[in-house]
Amino acid sequence: MNKYSGKQTFKLFTGTVLLAALTALAPVQAQTQKAKPALVQRANQALDLAVKQYKLMAQHLPDSLLPRSTNKDGSLMTSNSHWWCSGFYPGTLLYLYEYKKDASLKTEALKRLALIENEKNNKGTHDLGFMMYCSFGNAYRLFKDPAYKEVLLTSARSLSTRFNPTVGCIKSWDHGAFTFPVIIDNMMNLELLTWASRTSGDGSFAKIAKTHANTTIKNHFRPDYSSYHVIDYDGGTGAVLQKKTHQGAADSSAWSRGQAWGLYGYTMMYRETRDKAYLDQAKHIADFILNNPNLPEDMIPYWDYNAPGIPDVPRDASAGAVAASALLELSRYTTGKDATRYWNAAEKMLTSLSSPAYLAKEGENNDFILMHSVGSFPHKSEVDVPLSYADYYFVEALLRYKQWGK
């Protein structure tokens, strides 16, 4: 009897077909937008400040820990490698090394990569994309070290164990009162899987990513294309049990970073697959954000678009940074007025983030780059403070703007 029979044969066939489709894709036809010289100058100034801040961070950070935020007493909040944000500090260092070619940034990045490498075996989190692709992914892109490739492939295999084919999603959490929770943030972790398919020749990774993205389109979005934060599924039947929030203002509200995660995730999935459904979804999410009556004039969102007390509520610079980076990329896959609108919106966001209203002064802000982000307002956790991922996506967006606007 053939080794591969029944469902196994089907899985092998579909994975092979999907991989062939991914690897045969021609480059996305990118719309060309022109960067404004004044904003390029401001971007360079912000990046130069970021280099100074992160070199100071390297001096102040304990050797065995990673930066996370600021404590309520004003001191530096750190984490170990298990925290979902552990990859952002080395990832930002690598982006800054790419910009400045300062060897000390590379040395510090490699030092911190060693702290998180063992997370490649962590099957208890959906955040391996954040943790490993933002760090080791950038390292492999820049240095092509085969050891980094193996770390990433092992990470992809670990992440894949959390996929439930009946639900059609990767499980987010193993804790709390939910049965099989899936959060919108999880869209960001799919890039690790699509990369793993292209790199390894195993189409099953990309198949998981596409299935998760399709299920999320089906269940996570309201008619106006705002997103629920958490969908709780029955792991045995795939039925939706609850549509809830964990970090938003209410189950029915639009938590601002969640909208940015969705925008970035579907833009990335279009780049990776050329599936027009993902491009359409990204455009719908972008339009929800940009047309929202509660989007402030400076384009940096409140922590939730429906937060009680607007306008006297905290902003979330991290949501602005993620959205800016995503909008720059989305502008490249659209044409005409859409492309110009998304690019211009990103420019406004970056102009605001690189202004004194959000950009820290040298030696302040516990050596982080951006001020005024919000982790989880309902839990009174990381409110109006710097966050490592705000810095990461801000630096990414600045580099994208300079590169794509030439």
Paired strand residues for 169? 164
- Three-point CA angle 123, 124, 130, nearest 5°: 85
- Closest C-alpha to 311, from 319, 301, 320: 301
How far is Cα of residue 333 from the mean position of the Cα atoms in its chain?
19
As a whole number of angstroms, the distance between CA 85 and CA 80 comes to 9
**Token reading at 227:** 């997103």
- Distances, alpha carbon 11 to alpha carbons 149, 176, 203, 230, 237, in Å: 25, 33, 9, 29, 20
Q: Which of 63, 185, 202, 312 is catalytic?
A: 185
**Token reading at 1:** 């009897």
Q: Which of 127, 232, 316, 391 is catalytic?
A: 127
- Distances, alpha carbon 72 to alpha carbons 69, 76, 260, 308, 365, in Å: 10, 9, 26, 23, 13
Cβ-based neighbours of 197, under 8 Å, separated by 6 or more = 18, 19, 22, 203, 204, 205, 206, 207, 209
**Nearest 10 degrees: Cα torsion 142, 147, 149, 150:** -170
Residue 193 phi, psi (nearest 5): -75, -45
Note if 202 is an active site residue: no
Note if 127 is an active site residue: yes
Cβ-based neighbours of 327, under 8 Å, separated by 6 or more = 263, 286, 342, 343, 345, 346, 349
Instruction: Please identify every residue annotated as catalytic.
Output: 127, 185
